[in-house]
């Protein structure tokens, strides 16, 4: 194994895989988990992807919030690998149960219709709970390494902003306004941010839910310190030295444009970007002396020869375009960001052996920095 990703998996407590949708992020996270287990680490891979591809590839019937053990006996994996999938409702209920000061507060919150809506549908709740699950797993000390496959999103930076969003939603001033509301005039007494949130709540759920919201915030009032503290804990963990962010990209123009935006967002949020994995890269075909090898297969057939030449030229053009895009993106990164490229494989990961092959590609390529990749 090379130092580039193997050492990263050994040095860190948490690895957060980020990237736009469709770049192979979930499969990459699973392969990194398998690589970490082969290095002797007790590893949990937590996916937020509702698709069942990861479970199938790991040989599991399903994934649960608690995590399922992966049978790696047929592979060289002296460590341990578990895989789980975020269950949003169950995670929120467990969160409330852990932090409610009394059983009465817990029961009131869990039964409240407004809570049930907010916990499963309000923007940012999935991302917030993913971070909370990361904190929970970290505090359990059951694993040496936790790998998080972040939610599929057009703007994956929302994952990092989730604690701030939830803090604003659950801010005491919003609770005070709702609990003390007697008429529309009270709305002018709160700040613009709270007023905006209240209008969004009413638009999304209807003013009829304001009485439900009152019960929700009554229960929440006793828990706000814990909620705010968890948001602070989540931010500290995400930006700490024990956490590494890995950006997964594909060599297409839209995905790399999204990666540029995401990289800027990571920098803004002080999130430690440690590496970039360029996935599904088409390698350059061989030199244009095909007569002795590939073209020999045409056996003199002019039409087959012409098709082979066209195919070779198209493959060369695609590889050249991808190389230009990747080099330009690599040059924009700090020089200490690791850079690894994974070639386009024959098929997606359908079995543990496929993940093992990908793990080998990720952790056995020569180490080089992003700036070197761009030269």
pLDDT tens for residues 166-208? Answer: 666 665 565 555 555 434 434 444 445 555 655 655 565 554 5
| Angle at CA of residue 351, ends 72 and 256, nearest 5° | 110
Q: How far apart (Å, rounded) are the C-alpha atoms in residues 296 and 44?
A: 50
Sheet holding 145-149, edge to edge: 68-69, 80-85, 42-47, 145-149, 14-18, 243-249, 273-281, 338-343
Burial of residue 282, with CB atoms counted within 10 A of its CB: 0-12 exposed, 13-18 middle, 19 or more buried = middle
pLDDT tens for 63-120 read 888 888 998 876 666 789 999 988 888 888 988 898 888 898 889 889 888 788 777 7
Tokens of 92: 């929120």
Percent of the chain with pLDDT over 90: 27
Give the pLDDT confidence score for residue 311 in this predicted structure. 82
Quick: pLDDT tens for 293-336: 666 766 777 887 788 778 888 888 999 999 999 999 999 999 99
Query: What's the pLDDT score for residue 159?
Result: 72
The residue assigned the tokens 């056996």 is 299
Distance from C-alpha of 19 to C-alpha of 283, rounded to nearest angstrom? 22
The topology (CATH level 3) of 3-280+338-359 is Rossmann fold (3.40.50)
The enclosing H or E element of 238 equals helix 224-239
- The whole-number pLDDT of residue 108 equals 86
20 within 8 A of 60, measured Cβ to Cβ = no
| 97 contacts 106 by C-beta, under 8 angstroms | yes
127-131, 217-221, 252-256, 348-352: least confident range: 217-221
Give the pLDDT confidence score for residue 365 in this predicted structure: 37
């Amino acid at each position: 194994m090379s130092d580039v990703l193997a050492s990263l998996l050994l040095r860190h407590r948490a690895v957060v895989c980020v990237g736009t949708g469709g770049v192979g992020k979930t499969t990459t996270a699973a392969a990194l988990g398998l690589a970490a287990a082969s290095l002797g680490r007790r590893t949990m891979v937590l996916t937020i992807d509702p698709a069942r591809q990861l479970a199938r590839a790991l040989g599991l019937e399903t994934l649960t919030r608690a995590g399922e053990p992966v049978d790696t006996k047929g592979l060289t994996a002296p460590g341990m690998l578990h895989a789980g999938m975020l269950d949003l409702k169950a995670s929120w209920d467990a969160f409330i149960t852990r932090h409610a000061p009394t059983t009465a507060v817990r029961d009131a919150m869990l039964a409240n219709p407004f809570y049930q809506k907010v916990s499963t549908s309000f923007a940012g709740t999935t991302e917030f709970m993913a971070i909370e699950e990361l904190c929970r797993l970290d505090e359990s000390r059951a694993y040496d390494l936790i790998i998080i496959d972040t939610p599929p999103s057009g703007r994956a930076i929302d994952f990092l902003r989730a604690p701030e969003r939830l803090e604003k939603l659950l801010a005491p001033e919003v609770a005070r306004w709702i609990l003390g509301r007697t008429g529309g005039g009270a709305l002018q007494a709160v700040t613009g941010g709270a007023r905006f949130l209240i209008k969004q709540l009413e638009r999304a759920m209807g003013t009829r839910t304001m009485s439900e919201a009152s019960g929700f915030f009554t229960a929440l009032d006793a828990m706000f310190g814990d909620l705010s503290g968890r948001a602070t804990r989540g931010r500290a963990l995400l930006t700490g030295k024990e956490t590494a962010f890995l950006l997964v990209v594909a060599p297409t123009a839209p995905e790399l444009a999204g990666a540029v935006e995401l990289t800027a967002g990571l920098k803004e949020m002080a999130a430690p970007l440690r590496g970039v994995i360029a996935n599904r890269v088409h390698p350059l075909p061989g030199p244009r002396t095909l007569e002795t090898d590939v073209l020999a297969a045409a056996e003199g057939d002019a039409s087959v020869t012409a098709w082979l030449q066209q195919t070779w030229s198209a493959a060369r053009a695609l590889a050249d375009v991808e190389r230009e895009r990747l080099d330009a993106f690599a040059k924009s990164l700090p020089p200490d960001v690791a850079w690894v490229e994974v070639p386009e494989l024959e098929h997606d990961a359908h079995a543990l052996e496929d993940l093992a092959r990908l793990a080998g590609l990720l952790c056995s390529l020569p180490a080089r920095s992003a700036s070197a990749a761009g030269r």
